[in-house]
Chains A and B, each alone.
Chain A
Amino acid sequence: MSAERGNDPARLIQEIASGNRDAFERFYDRYASLVYALALRILHVRSDAQDLVQEVLLQVWRQAGSYSPERGSPEAWLLTITRSRAIDKHRSVRRIERGLPATGDPSRLEGGGKLESGTTQSDARLTLHGALQKMPEAQRTVLELAYFEGLTQSEIAARLGEPLGTVKTRIRAALQRLRELTGAKAPEGPS
């Protein structure tokens, strides 16, 4: 087996499913920084994001056997798990914060829009580049609200004070742009 084949993500997942801890470590080395960046972007709190990395990768270890290549790439599988767990956790924190008196915990943000104090310089470089950077701001805003904050299209419309139809159009345009970048063809409906 070549080294390249040995690091193929789908192959790694297959090996993880058979209990190969070395494959799991390679998978971690390959994806942990991506998972952590996404967790930080959604949760804003470093310690929570670190917990999330651990939870997500533990799920990969335990459920690698349930991964199906027919349903998407390993990266899409991993990021879907990460985003879903991060948004659940974020909502849970918000619920707890609403139900508890202020604790004065300096690491917890009031508004949730910035990283906690003490964030390292590298953490603060959670700037967007690539695909999103070149996207029109109105499209990028709705995409970010949905992807990073877990808002539905109705919630986005309410948040922005825009008509629902406008929000839908912007989201579709943003997704179309992403699909073009990945080379996906426009869907053809049945005749």
Chain B
Amino acid sequence: MNHDQWLERAEMYALGALDVEEATQFEAHLASRCGLCEDHLRETREALTLVPRSLTPVDPPPAVKARLLAQIAGEAAPVIPVRPRPQWRWWGMSAGAFAAAGLLITLGWTLVTTRQEVQTLEGRVAGLQAELSKREVPLALYTAVINLLRDPSTRDVALRGVEPGAGAAGRFLWNESGEGHIFVANLPPATEGKAYVVWTIAPGKPPRSAGVIQTDASGSGGLHIYPGRSDHPVQVFAVTLEPSGDVSAPTGPTVLVSK
């Protein structure tokens, strides 16, 4: 295949119009770090933004934003990797530099001592903040679950395990306000990189992801689902094992389902 044909495929790939086999071949070509195709793919994706830009923008209802902000308020901030601080490379310094450094150390001793004290205090504050946040989250969670249980319209749905989670069990507290809480037990450990995703399903509607449930070493865990829109009564609750927590529809095996 000459390179013009790869560039043609790059365009079709950006559009998602390649058949599976061609797409696989193109991905293998991209993996060879073909700069021309990477550039062409990127430019085509940019050009394709004109397609949705040709639609008249429509504001979603304010409730969508409110739900989203409530959801992220209940989540920890995304974790970003922190680069380690550069280390001093003492072995690379010349004798003159050692002398200068010694002088600086002598003159700056008081400053260093003060800085150490500040660092110690910073460490203690960080520790206290971490301890406080550990206590705040469960307290808010317990309050939310208790409020859910107090509501007479909250349903208590039993979940049964299905192979590969045959020995697992669970309970789903669900309120049609869209708030709920799921408890699970005896789930097998999720395979490396996979995630247990919780779904609510209303008749005739696509399953809605309610989030990812984390389990401990014994396979127990819980997830609180904060209030969201619920135009259609949920009839089925399920947990599936997915390649990632960000799937928009269930693709993996079901491990728990409502009885």
Contact = CB atoms under 8 A, between A and B. Distances in A.
Interface in A145-171: 146-148, 150-154, 156, 168, 171
A25 interface: yes
Interface residues of A, number: 91
A140 B12 CA distance: 15
B112 interface: no
B55 A128 contact: yes
State the main secondary structure of chain A at its contact with B. Answer: helix
A52 B183 CA distance: 26
A89 B64 contact: no
B45 interface: yes
B49 A54 contact: no
B248 A88 contact: yes
Interface stretch (B94-102, B139-147, B200-208): B200-208
B17 A178 contact: no
Contacts of B75: 61-62
Contact of A96 (B44, B69, B206, B228): B206
A85 B248 CA distance: 6
B84 interface: no
Interface of A: 16-19, 21, 24-25, 28, 32-34, 36-38, 40-41, 47-55, 57-59, 61-65, 71-73, 75-76, 79-80, 82-85, 87-89, 91-93, 96-97, 100, 103, 105, 108, 122-123, 125-133, 143-144, 146-148, 150-154, 156, 168, 171-172, 175, 178-179, 181-182, 184, 187-190
27 contacts: A18-B77, A21-B69, A32-B60, A33-B60, A36-B60, A53-B64, A62-B246, A72-B42, A72-B45, A73-B46, A73-B49, A79-B49, A83-B16, A85-B248, A89-B249, A92-B248, A123-B58, A126-B55, A127-B55, A130-B50, A130-B53, A131-B50, A144-B51, A152-B18, A182-B43, A184-B43, A190-B36
- 7 closest cross-chain pairs (CB), A and B: A19-B77, A92-B249, A33-B57, A103-B204, A178-B47, A132-B54, A184-B43
